Structure 1
Amino acid sequence: MPKHVVFDVVGTCVSYSAFFTSIQKVLGPRLLAHNITPKLFGFAWMESSEREFTYLSISSRYKPYKQVFSTMFYRMLWMSGIDNPRAFATDAERDEMVRSYSDLELREGVKEAFAALREAGFTVWCLTTGDVERVHGYFTRGGVDFPIENFRSCDGLGVAKPALAAYKPLYESFGEEEKWFAAAHYWDVSAAKIVGFKGAYCSVYEKEDCKELFDVDMDVMADTLPEMAQKIIEASK
């Protein structure tokens, strides 16, 4: 029977380090003068953008994440304690940091994890909320061969993960074949499991899974991507 593993990309296969480095380069000293660390500011900026992005999506006003992300910048400066955000930073500086999202780098072990799964007979897919060209570029620049036809984005559906409708088209396309969903976001894998995927969770990003919030147990849990791949292979035998 054919076997499939669908990976989330940003946060799972790709690290946010380049984005945090860009914030440090562009605004680091100014932020630190207000006792704001660049990494914490970057995390707050991403998370608040994810919230607004999700709220827009579930209220039938879907906007691409990049648009939401850019728009939220000055609000996050205000929420971080900057009294006059538009005097603190410029649009050009914001745009430079937003562009760094296209420079995110693959996590250690991605290539090995994909190779092991393919050798074991799995077809590897990616499902992203981002635009396919940008997200596929992470693999191209990282030297990992990944067929563009195995990329799927829910961006064109006007729906965002973890809405169950974001997972269903790919899930249903596999019919009765074995199908796994793998991610470093517990919310992501747990939603995919509700749809019917087997779930594989990697703690490389979140560290703490907080699984008591989600009422869903994983089929596989691991600390690294290669370890997760091996556990999927073993669980499939």
Structure 2
Amino acid sequence: MPSIVFDIVGTLISYENCIAEIEKQLGDRFKADNINASLFFFFWLAGAERDYSYLSQSNNYQPFSKIMEYTFYRSLFFAGIKTPRHYCSQDEVNEIIKIGFFNLRARKQTEETLKLLAEYGFTTYFLTDASSERVLNYFKKSGIEISSENLISCDSIDAGKPEAIVYQTMSKRLPDKHKNDKWFFAAHMWDSCAARQGDFRTAWSAIHEFEPCTEIFGEPDVLGDGLLDTARKVIAMHKTLAEK
């Protein structure tokens, strides 16, 4: 049976709850200072992703949620707030982390996408920068059941994406050794690109980033729009490859 590995947060799980909580806690202040809550969140996230990756590359791996928590005030400073620790309280930051970031939900097409691929014959696996506990909770609160045995957190590898060892470790877990039967599905183009290091066929969905930026990342095997559209294209390509 072919295998497909999913990135989770940003791909199958949406960030919207965290953006909504930022708006709830800081919305009035942000409006007064002309700060867009969504833009602030993705700046905060991008900075955390950079630090997560750089710390891993320098042999100082840290859990992703810890980096998000401790870079919030720095992100406020870069957003133009000169005294960020006076701008909002630690309790408000804690609420944004607890009620927002730790309380994300699945995208609308997530369950149907997983079902479609399973019905075709794919065994689904999951590879995440987040802790296993956190992402399992996301799925549970979304009413979706996944196999914890098929989930690998980078915390267990002590290295973060996009390091080669992460994708190679995941690849070794799969029963299928032929490249045509090993797929990696993400809505982050850098993640899809990096998965080639594990000898995966790669698929990217525009559900999160919209622009694929193939000029810098190159072309994945499949480029799709929504999750379901991308899944259907994966199935179609797998059928074509199997016939060769």
TM range (shorter): over 0.9
Alignment of 1:229 with 2:241, yes or no, is no
Corresponding residue for residue 51 of structure 1? 50
Is structure 2 residue 125 aligned with structure 1 residue 122? no
In the alignment, the residues of structure 2 paired with residue 151 and residue 195 of structure 1 have an alpha-carbon distance, to the nearest angstrom, of: 16
State the AA in 2 paired with 1:110: T
Mapped pair 1:147 → 2:150: no
Per-residue CA shift, 1:166-213, capped at 9, x if unaligned? 111121232524110000000001110232100011000000011111
- Matched residues in 1 for 2:124 and 2:77: separation? 42
Matched, 1:159 2:150: no
Query: Which residue does 1:113 correspond to in 2?
Result: 113
| Secondary structure, aligned partner of 2:210 | coil
- CA drift of 1:42 comes to 0.9
Alignment partner, residue 38 of structure 1? 37
Equivalent of 1:213, from 206, 211, 216? 216
Aligned: 1:89 with 2:84: no
Cα distance in 1, alignment partners of residues 183 and 17 from structure 2: 29
Could you tell me which amino acid in structure 2 is paired with residue 195 of structure 1? G
Which blocks of at least 5 consecutive residues in structure 1 are unaligned?
A: none
Is 1:176 paired with 2:169? Answer: no
The alignment partner of 1:127 has SS state of strand
2:76 alignment counterpart: 77
CA contact (8 A) 2:129 2:155 kept: yes
Indicate if the aligned counterparts of 2:188 and 2:208 stay in contact, CA closer than 8 A. yes
The whole-number CA distance in structure 1 between the counterparts of 2:39 and 2:93 is 16
Runs of 4+ in structure 1 deviating by more than 3 angstroms, as ranges, are none
Alignment match, 1:200: 203
Unaligned runs of 5+ in 2: 240-244
Matched-pair identity in %: 37
Give aligned pairs, total: 235
Distance (whole Å) between structure 1 residues aligned to residue 74 and residue 173 of structure 2 = 41
Root-mean-square deviation (CA, aligned residues, Å) is: 1.1
Question: Residue 24 of structure 1 aligns to a residue in which SS?
Answer: helix
> Aligned partners of 1:84, 1:219: CA distance in 2, in Å?
47
TM-score by length of 1: 0.96
Match of residue 60 from structure 1: 59
